[in-house]
Amino acid sequence: MTKLLIVDDSLEMRQLLKSVLKRNCDEIFECEDGDEVLAAFSAHQPDWVVMDVEMKRMDGLKATASLLRQHPQAQVIILTQHADIDTKIAAREAGARYFVGKDDLLHVRQLIEG
């Protein structure tokens, strides 16, 4: 049983991710900002977290670092439209397991499938 948490401030992106990933996940949870991820992770204990970088209150890089400090077993996939090398390095430093551009959602599916 695979559980997924989507963290993205765009409702449209969350819906798109759910439609792309629903066949790979038994349960999909979502929140719209990085400052909600700790509570959502604790409540649902997902196998994977798909995290946007740019959000209004807390960006995904800070949220990832915070999440992994409290839950080092969390598997975070950073999903962003800013696929530049600096963002990729920052994602790795935050502890993200993978870094994927928003133009490659099928790659996210492949990562979750194993």
Separation CA 40–CA 48 (nearest Å)? 12
Residues 6+ apart with CB under 8 A from 36: 7
pLDDT at 12: 96
pLDDT at 24: 86
CATH number for the domain that contains residue 59: 3.40.50.2300
| 99 pLDDT more than 90 | yes
Residue 53 is part of which domain span?
Answer: 3-113
Length of the chain: 114
Contact 28, 46 (CB under 8 A): no
pLDDT at 82: 79
Find the helix or strand (DSSP H, E) in which 48 lies: strand 48-52
pTM of the model: 0.94
pLDDT at 1: 82
pLDDT in tens, 26-85: 999 999 999 999 999 999 999 999 999 999 999 999 999 999 999 999 999 999 887 789
Calculate ∠ Cα 82-106-72, nearest 5°. Answer: 70
Number of domains into which the chain is organized: 1
